[in-house]
Amino acid sequence: MSIQETISKHGGLEPGLIHARGLSIGYDRPLMEDLDFTIRRGEVFLVLGGSGTGKSTLLKTLFGRLAPIAGNVEVAGVGDPAELRGQRPRFGVSFQSGALFGSLTIAQNVALPLEEWTDLDPATIAGVVEGKLRLVGLDGAGDRLPSELSGGMQKRAGIARALALENDLLFLDEPSAGLDPVTAVELDELLLALNRSLGITLVVVTHELESIYRIGTRAILLDKNTRSIIADGDPRILRDENSDPRVRAFFHREPLGGTRRYTDSGEPEHGDSERPKPAPTQEPFTEAFKPIVKDDPFKGEYL
C-alpha cells in the first residue's frame, strides 16, 4: 500500500504504527522487561544500545519472528505479528548479512517475494524489479551475482528485495555494519530518501553515532543492567541535554567530529565497536561477507 493509500484509508497519518505494551523480550530469561513505546508512521525510529543488550532480539519480536515473553506488540493494527506468518508480508526486513541468495542474480533475488506472494506475470515482475533496483540506485546491476557487487550494493539489493511488495515499513538491523564510511553515508542517504520521499517508516538498530545523528529523529536507548529503556527521544537532544551518566556514556563515547575509532574511555559495553573498522579507502564488504547466505535466516519466508 502506498503512503497515499494509507493516508486516505485511515483519514490521516496514523499516530501509532507499532505499539509495544508491557513488552518483555528474550529467550530463556528476559533481556528487556516491561517496555512501552509507540512508533509513529513516517518515523525513523532507532533502537540503540551496547552489544548484547537485546536490540536484534527486540527487532525480531517487533516483526513477529520471536514471541514476546510477556506483554504484546501491535503492528499496523495486527495484535500479534506472529499471526502474519505465512501471509503476504506487510513490512520489509533487512538483516545484517543482507541475506541474498548467492546463486541467484540480483534481479532474481528481488523477484523472489513477488513470485511467492503475487500472481504477477514474469514481464510485470521484471518491470517491478527494475523499478526497485532503480529506486535503490542499482539500475543495470540486475544480472549480476551478489558476489560481484560491493558491500554497499549488496545492502541496497537487500533493501530493494525488502521493498518489492510495496511495503511502507522497513526493519533494518545494523544496515551500515561492515561498510566503509563513505558507503555508509550513501546508504544512510538512501534510507533518508526512502523515508522522506516515499514515507516509509524505518525501524533501525544501529550503534554508529554518525549514522544515528544523520538519520534518526527518534531513538530509544536500551540498558542491559536495568533491562529497560533509559532514554527515549531525539538523539541530538539526548546527546546534548540528558544528564544520565549511562546515556552520556553512550552518546559521548567518541569525540564529536572525531574519527570512527572508539576510545577506551567509553563504556566497556560497546563490544560491537571492538570489531576493526575498515579504512575509508577500502570497500571490504565483499571480502567480509563472502559467504553471503549459507543458511537462509528466514527459511524461505521473505518479509
Residues in the site for Mg ion, rule: CB under 5 A? 55-56
Based on CB atoms, which residue is closest to ligand ADP, 55 or 90? 55
Output the nine-digit C-alpha cell for 284: 571490504
How far apart (Å, rounded) are the C-alpha atoms in residues 97 and 205? 14
Q: How far is the CB of 13 from ligand ADP (least distance, A)?
A: 30
Q: Taking the complex as a whole, how short is the minimal distance between the CB of residue 25 and ligand ADP, in angstroms?
A: 8
Residue nearest Mg ion (C-beta atom) = 56
CB of 137 or CB of 297, closer to ligand ADP: 297
Q: Is 92 within 8 Å of 170 (Cβ atoms)?
A: yes
233 binds, among Mg ion, ligand ADP, none (CB under 5 to 8 A by kind): none
Look at residue 35 and give the partner it binds from ligand ADP, Mg ion, none, a contact being a CB closer than 5 to 8 Å depending on partner kind: none
What is the SS3 assignment for 262? Answer: coil
Nearest-angstrom CA–CA distance, 110 and 191 = 18
Least CB distance to Mg ion at residue 119 (A): 36
From Mg ion, ligand ADP, none, interface partner of 27 (C-beta below 5 to 8 A by class): ligand ADP
Q: How far apart are CB 101 and Mg ion at their closest, in Å?
A: 22
CB neighbours of residue 182 within 10 Å: 12
CB nearer to ligand ADP: pick between 27 and 296: 27
State the binding partner of 49 from ligand ADP, Mg ion, none, CB within 5 to 8 A by kind. ligand ADP
Nearer to ligand ADP, 49 or 113 (CB): 49
The minimum distance between CB 25 and Mg ion, in angstroms, equals 13
Q: Enumerate binding residues for ligand ADP (CB under 6 A).
A: 27, 31, 49, 51-57
Answer for the pair 64, 72: CB distance below 8 angstroms, yes or no: no
Which stretches within the chain are classed as H helix? 3-10, 55-62, 106-117, 122-135, 151-162, 181-198, 209-215, 235-241, 245-251, 285-288
- CA gap 226, 243 in Å, rounded: 17
Q: Choosing among ligand ADP, Mg ion, none, which partner's interface includes residue 118 (Cβ < 5 to 8 Å by kind)?
A: none
Rounded (10°) angle between helices 122-135 and 106-117? 120
Which CB atom, from 149 or from 204, has the smaller least distance to ligand ADP? 204
> First CA to last CA across the chain, in angstroms?
15
